[in-house]
């Protein structure tokens, strides 16, 4: 049984047991994401000591069902200061793998946890970028 929006989702910092799941954007079942190889792991290793923050949402079975990654805006590709920049927020939305968890308040819970974390780290706020397309690019596009 899935938790609902009324349920308090477990939100935690990324820990080692979830690295591989995070490196494939929670879609370890996807052949498309396997095309990217170890690029996300390399990127993670490059930014983990530059303030990169990652939170994951866990379901009742302790599966990672959502994630948000953000870092000091000074370390990002946009200009700004004293802000944290949201690079990605994703709630698993496919039938494959662990199933569709969108529409249950997980994204809101992740963003709320990230906002609290950023403020505790001295940020004045958060910023994000947006992209409106009916699809996301395959890993090989990058």
Q: What are the pLDDT digits (tens) for 84-138?
A: 999 999 999 888 888 899 999 999 999 999 999 999 999 999 999 876 666 655 5
Phi, psi of 78 (to 5 degrees): -120, 160
Alpha-carbon span 101 to 52, nearest angstrom: 25
Split into its structural domains, the chain has a count of 1
Q: Give the bridge partners for 12, in sequence order.
A: 56
Q: What is the pTM of this model?
A: 0.84
Range of the domain at 81: 10-130
Of 58, 64, 70, residue with least CA distance to 19: 64
Q: What is the DSSP letter of 16?
A: G
Q: What is the DSSP letter of 98?
A: T
Q: Would you say residue 138 lies in a domain?
A: no
Alpha-carbon span 57 to 51, nearest angstrom: 20
Q: Would you say residue 39 lies in a domain?
A: yes
For the chain, the average pLDDT equals 87
Check which CATH number belongs to the domain holding 19 and give it: 3.40.630.30
């Amino acid at each position: 049984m899935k938790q609902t929006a009324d349920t308090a989702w477990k939100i935690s910092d990324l820990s080692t047991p979830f690295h591989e799941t995070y490196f494939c954007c929670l879609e370890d079942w996807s052949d498309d994401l396997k095309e990217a190889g170890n690029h996300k792991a390399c990127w993670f290793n490059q930014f983990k000591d530059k303030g990169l923050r990652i939170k994951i949402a866990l379901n009742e079975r302790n599966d990672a069902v959502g994630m948000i990654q953000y870092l000091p805006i000074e370390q990002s590709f946009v200009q700004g200061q004293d802000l944290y920049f949201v690079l990605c927020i994703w709630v698993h939305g496919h039938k494959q793998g662990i199933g569709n968890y969108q529409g249950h308040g997980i994204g809101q819970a992740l963003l709320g946890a990230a906002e609290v974390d950023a403020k505790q780290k001295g940020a004045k706020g958060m910023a994000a970028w947006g992209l409106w397309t009916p699809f996301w690019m395959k890993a090989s596009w990058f």
